[in-house]
A = this chain, B = another copy of it.
């Protein structure tokens, strides 16, 4: 008989602290081992290391009801280290979430399963957000905690009063996004946000000492967090730390949980080799032996299964009490709460849109589309209490602040406008968290060029199918003197390439209003508005109550009975196209100008509509941006009046001349194409 490994002795010592918690946690570890082994792919180490802490959280702290997963006042739980997905799936399965069946666990990482490699929002109940790209979960959680505070202010603490817990690892803390989220949470005093940091001293490349030597608790304390550190395999210590964190009302809490990655695995525990690969059959068997686990793969012994189900149901009374309080509300408040959570628009909204249209028809506006955006917001926000705005420190440039949201969200008092600071990425990811939380429609501003900084969170808005609204101004060389670092050139194309993202570039004040209207209605597709710094005339002056932008592209002006040429344009270049069209028409050509505020919606129209709008005449596209992608609508990039490289610093007019985005250039190309 061989001697027990040193690790076995270590495990035995930890097991003795709270044998019940240890046994419950072993259910998680066994499922993680089995699922990763069956898939022959995945990350067993973190679920095994964090199982003890997660068990304590579920047993004694997390407010939830597995039989009613969507209970609005449940605590939110985010797995920011999304690769540890089996931790979450095991917890949901064990505690009795109906759709997280054993079959799903067995099909971990298989096509069509709810148990994707990383947790995917919408795949199963209890998955509060999509994680995997590191740092985003903690930033989502910040958004959820903001949402909780905002909704509590609107509906009272009897109805909205929950915590947001987030698991995170070293990677989330190394990513800059993590720091942005941490700094923002500290600044906003999000006392109901509690982070459990899996301090396992291992990253993919080996021990964290290879790349990470910070004093994490000191960093977070400097950012206004309440910090604690505990043994991650000591259930009592974890329990006490969670209690202290819950007791802290004004600061977000970090609990650094010292864990051993792959806890239980005799040779791979405590090393990077347990991070991202199956343990292997031999190591898996030995790990189970060390953990004292003898059940068959994917089997949970009956009494442990029962105990876990009881954990899953222990929130039922809380939930029922909440329902009692909710039912006692005046019906208007109940209806409003239900409306907000369902994402339905209020009754007066359509009328507000129509009034705003009339106002623009009555007094056409020659303004920058960023200013038009502010006008639209000013008109629509008063009837949308769910709107919560903000900017990444560019409020005066983005023009994102209007009277209806003119209450600053501070640590002392929630409000409807968030100073995100120079933190574009955290802004976007926090908006995603607000969306998945429910009850709010977030919008946030920055310069279009800095969509780069937020890009992966914009991608996740699209992937998660949530309706965040990005207000991105200074959308071309038209911003002028700030120069090429600030001038988006490739950004429209690169954003159009993202699936399920509506990229809007409205041509005038009316289209800007229309695009805002579409964005507000669009709760499953995020919207990005690209808006100008420079003024444009209002082209749309013919009265009508139809949102023409909703088809994505349409003939905005026609000159002449025939159509000899079609000019496609977006944003500020639509009025330039109209000027060129007038000149061309005077020279005898029939010209249609097509405004294409959003390609995505245009491409969703039927063939007949698209064919009619695009016409059969030669086509030219005009956009003060890179030409990439326009060959979807024109023959070659020679037919695009646009940019071929980066911009430059100078006054806007000089830049348009310099880069040849001019009426003359349009006319010259038309003459080549039409042989006139």
Contact = CB atoms under 8 A, between A and B. Distances in A.
Nearest to A452: B456
B174 A176 contact: no
Chain B CB count within 10 A is highest, among A212, A391, A497, A632, for: A497
A480 B205 CA distance: 21
Given A395-B205, A453-B175, A646 B480 contact: no
Contact of A649 (B111, B397, B496): B111
Interface in A102-126: 109-113, 116-118, 120
Contacts of A495: 494
B180 A174 contact: yes
Chain B CB count within 10 A is highest, among A175, A211, A223, A408, for: A211
Contacts of A180: 174-176, 179
B453 A459 contact: no
Contacts of A222: 214-216, 218-219, 221-222
A153 interface: no
Contacts of A221: 218, 222
Interface in A621-643: 626, 628-629, 631-632, 637
A180 to B, nearest CB: 4
Interface in A339-382: none
Contacts of A113: 649
Chain B CB count within 10 A is highest, among A110, A170, A174, A391, for: A174
A214 B222 CA distance: 6
Given A183-B214, A632-B637, A204 B111 contact: no
B629 A629 contact: yes
A524 interface: no
A266 interface: no
A210 B42 CA distance: 42
Interface stretch (A154-162, A419-427, A511-519): A419-427
Nearest to A631: B631
Contacts of A205: 391, 393-396, 419
A133 interface: yes
Contact of A493 (B187, B494, B500): B494
A221 B455 CA distance: 30
A185 to B, nearest CB: 11
A176 B223 contact: no
A481 B117 contact: yes
A651 interface: yes
A408 B210 contact: yes
Interface residues of A, number: 105
A603 to B, nearest CB: 9
A644 interface: yes
A509 to B, nearest CB: 25
A456 B450 contact: yes
Contacts of A632: 628, 631, 637
Interface string A433-465: 000000000000000011011011001101100
A213 B219 contact: no
A111 B174 contact: no
Interface stretch (A143-151, A253-261, A483-491): A483-491
Interface of A: 39, 41-42, 82, 109-113, 116-118, 120, 130-135, 170-171, 174-180, 183-184, 186-187, 203-205, 210-216, 218-219, 221-224, 391, 393-397, 408, 419-423, 425-426, 449-450, 452-453, 455-456, 459-460, 462-463, 480-486, 489-490, 493-500, 626, 628-629, 631-632, 637, 644-646, 648-651, 654-655, 658
Closest 8 pairs between A and B when the two form their complex, measured CB to CB: A176-B176, A111-B650, A211-B421, A494-B494, A116-B649, A132-B485, A218-B222, A452-B456
29 contacts: A41-B480, A109-B650, A110-B650, A111-B651, A111-B658, A112-B648, A116-B649, A130-B485, A132-B482, A132-B486, A171-B422, A174-B423, A176-B177, A176-B179, A176-B423, A186-B213, A205-B391, A213-B224, A214-B224, A216-B222, A218-B221, A219-B222, A452-B456, A462-B646, A494-B494, A494-B495, A494-B497, A499-B646, A631-B632
Given A118-B649, A175-B423, A631-B631, 20 more contacts: A109-B483, A111-B649, A111-B655, A111-B658, A117-B483, A118-B485, A132-B483, A132-B486, A133-B450, A170-B422, A211-B393, A211-B422, A452-B456, A455-B455, A463-B484, A493-B628, A500-B646, A628-B629, A628-B632, A629-B631
